[in-house]
């Protein structure tokens, strides 16, 4: 058959051009290059919207796997990759820090809450709600927390000790009762040692109770001394409520008689400040009943505190490496990655600590988990040193010197931040 007689091949159907619904420009992808509008709107299947939300917020795809490995075990690699322009393959630094910090301290809060209900070291819970202590013949309730040894249900010091001091007629008797009460508190503190969360939570209640005992003893001794000096019989004191209060200028705080005054704040500022002090004083009674309240409030404040300290740490890096002529944003990226590593490591430590505690009956599993936890804690400062060396590329002597200065300065900042976070937690329980 000749070429002239061959029929032309059928034309393929023309693909209609996709145009932006907003500005009408021909689309070359899923976003309009002219106005930026995406092709996908909200008028579609709800399941696809959920998928896009999870992807945009959590970035739950291969990027999370490519990010967590280098973040935890390759110091400085994420920052160097970011500086080289290879960014899309990894989770963004800000998003990485935000979610790791939230997850880490949420897990820590859960872990400490659970640890609060664990029996003290050496006490094994038995069926029926009792605990068996190998060093004591009497059974104790398994859910008795250490602060209940010296605190009543209303948060005041044990009524037996307080009533005894109020009824005492000699200084020696008051001192003996005071010492006995303080010894009970010390023993309760020792029982709680080693339980995660107890040192921060229950010990706060211990300190409050011990201070209340000392104040009550001091008050009763003053009454006895006054009656003795006047040659009068010592009267048995009427029951009074033992209540702790904040003090300023050596006197208990009072919104009218002894308010907190800061000259440069002005009347409005001082009124607000004293309102917060009043809230904090009221919350002290709640903390005495449940010390876990302050612990939970403090842990929830830590991510916000770290987010505020991040730019300050980047400023320290800028000062330390001023002659490197790096932009401030480069130092901020390093700060974000280093803090993300710390939060991720903390999350692993909390998980390992919980697993080690929950598998304490199987030493072959619990001990390796404990070793991994210790190894992770040791890896944290080493990682930061190697990261600083790799990113800024200075000799070891200069790197160690700047690492020590940065660490010292940042510890001061963390101390200040933790103090303000604790104060805010005391007010906003």
Taking residues 268-296, what's their average pLDDT? 80
The domain segmentation of the chain, as residue ranges, is 15-45, 73-116+292-427, 152-244
Average of per-residue pLDDT across 178-184: 82
117-121, 256-260, 356-360, range with the lowest pLDDT: 117-121
- Tell me the pLDDT tens digit for each residue of 187-215: 766 665 544 444 444 455 566 677 777 88
State residue 398 phi and psi, 5-degree precision. -65, -40
Q: Where are the beta strands (DSSP E) in 209-344?
A: 247-248, 251-252
Q: How far is CA 55 from CA 14, 30, 44, 231, 428, in A?
A: 34, 16, 17, 82, 34
How many CA within 13 A on the CB side of residue 157? Answer: 32
In the predicted structure, residue 370 carries a pLDDT above the cut 70: yes
Residue 146: pLDDT band with limits 50, 70, 90 = very low
User: Which range, of 200-204, 222-226, 422-426, averages the lowest pLDDT?
Assistant: 200-204
**Residue 312 in this model has a pLDDT that exceeds 90:** yes
Instruction: Name the DSSP letter for residue 147.
Output: G
CA gap 81, 391 in Å, rounded:
10
302 Cβ neighbours under 8 A, 6+ residues apart = 101, 105, 421
Per-residue pLDDT at 287: 78
CB–CB of 176/161 below 8 Å? no
| Segment 113-125 mean pLDDT | 49
Please list the alpha-helical segments (H only) found in 84-144. 93-116
CA pair distance 125, 141, nearest whole angstrom: 9
- 380 Cβ contact partners less than 8 Å away, ≥ 6 residues apart: 341, 342, 345
How many separate helices (H) and strands (E) can be counted in the chain?
12, 5
Which pTM value belongs to this model? 0.61
Cα gap 67→70, rounded to integer Å: 6
């Amino acid at each position: 058959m000749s070429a002239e007689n061959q029929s032309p091949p059928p034309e393929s159907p023309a693909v209609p051009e996709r145009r932006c619904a907003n500005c009408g420009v021909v689309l070359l992808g899923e976003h309009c290059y002219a106005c930026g509008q995406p092709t996908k709107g909200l008028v579609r299947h709800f399941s696809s919207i959920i998928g896009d939300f999870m992807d945009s917020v959590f970035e739950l795809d291969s990027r999370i796997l490519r990010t967590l490995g280098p973040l935890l075990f390759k110091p400085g690699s994420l920052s160097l990759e970011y500086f080289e322009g290879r960014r899309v393959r990894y989770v963004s630094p800000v998003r990485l820090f935000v979610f790791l910090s939230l997850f880490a301290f949420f897990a820590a809060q859960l872990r400490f809450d659970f640890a609060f209900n664990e029996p003290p070291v050496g006490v094994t819970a038995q069926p029926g709600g009792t605990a068996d202590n190998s060093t004591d013949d009497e059974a104790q309730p398994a859910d008795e927390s250490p602060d209940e040894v010296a605190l009543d249900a209303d948060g005041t010091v044990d009524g037996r000790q307080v009533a005894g001091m109020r009824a005492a007629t000699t200084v020696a008797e008051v001192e003996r009762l005071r010492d006995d009460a303080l010894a009970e508190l010390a023993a309760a503190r020792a029982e709680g040692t080693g339980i995660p969360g107890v040192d921060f939570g229950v010990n706060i209640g211990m300190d409050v109770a011990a201070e209340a005992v000392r104040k009550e003893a001091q008050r009763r001794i003053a009454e006895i001394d006054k009656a003795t000096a006047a040659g009068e019989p010592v009267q048995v004191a009427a029951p009074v409520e033992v209540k702790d209060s904040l003090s300023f200028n050596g006197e208990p705080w009072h919104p009218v008689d002894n308010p907190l005054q800061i000259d440069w704040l002005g009347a409005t500022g001082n009124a607000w400040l004293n309102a917060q002090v009043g809230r904090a004083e009221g919350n002290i009674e709640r903390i005495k009943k449940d010390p876990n309240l302050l612990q939970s409030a403090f842990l929830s404040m830590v991510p916000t505190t770290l987010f505020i300290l991040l730019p300050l740490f980047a400023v320290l890096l800028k000062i330390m490496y001023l002659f490197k002529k790096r932009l401030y944003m480069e130092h901020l990226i390093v700060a974000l990655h280093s803090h993300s590593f710390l939060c991720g490591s903390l999350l692993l430590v909390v998980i390992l600590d919980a697993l080690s505690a929950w598998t304490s009956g199987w030493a072959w599993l619990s001990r390796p988990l404990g070793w991994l936890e210790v190894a992770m804690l040791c890896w944290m400062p080493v990682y930061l040193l190697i990261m600083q060396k790799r990113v800024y590329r200075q000799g070891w002597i200069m790197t160690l010197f700047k690492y020590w200065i940065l660490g010292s300065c940042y510890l001061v900042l963390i101390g200040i931040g933790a103090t303000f976070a604790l104060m805010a937690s005391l007010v906003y329980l």
